[in-house]
Amino acid sequence: MTLTKNIIITEITNKLGFTKHDSAGILEKVLEIIKKTLENGEDVLISGFGKFCVA
């Protein structure tokens, strides 16, 4: 199985009780923050998950 945005949105909705619309907004904002950080040449470290960087 491939983890997609829609699956993540559904998980947020089911586990946290947000609406699908709000869950999608939360995910989009998180991804936007990560993307902008990487575009600025900075690394993203999510403790317990991994480190993202542009080489």
| Residue-number span of the structural domain to which 39 is assigned | 5-52
Neighbours of 23 (CB within 10 A): 20
Number of compact structural domains in the chain? 1
User: In this predicted structure, what is the pLDDT of residue 55?
Assistant: 86
CATH of the domain at 14: 4.10.520.10
25: tokens are 């907004």
pLDDT tens digits, one per residue of 1-46: 899 999 999 999 999 999 999 999 999 999 999 999 999 999 999 9
Q: Supply the angle between the helices 5-16 and 20-39 in degrees, to the nearest 10.
A: 130
Distance CA 34, CA 45 (A): 10
- HSE-up of residue 33 (Cα within 13 Å, Cβ side): 9
| Count of residues in the chain | 55
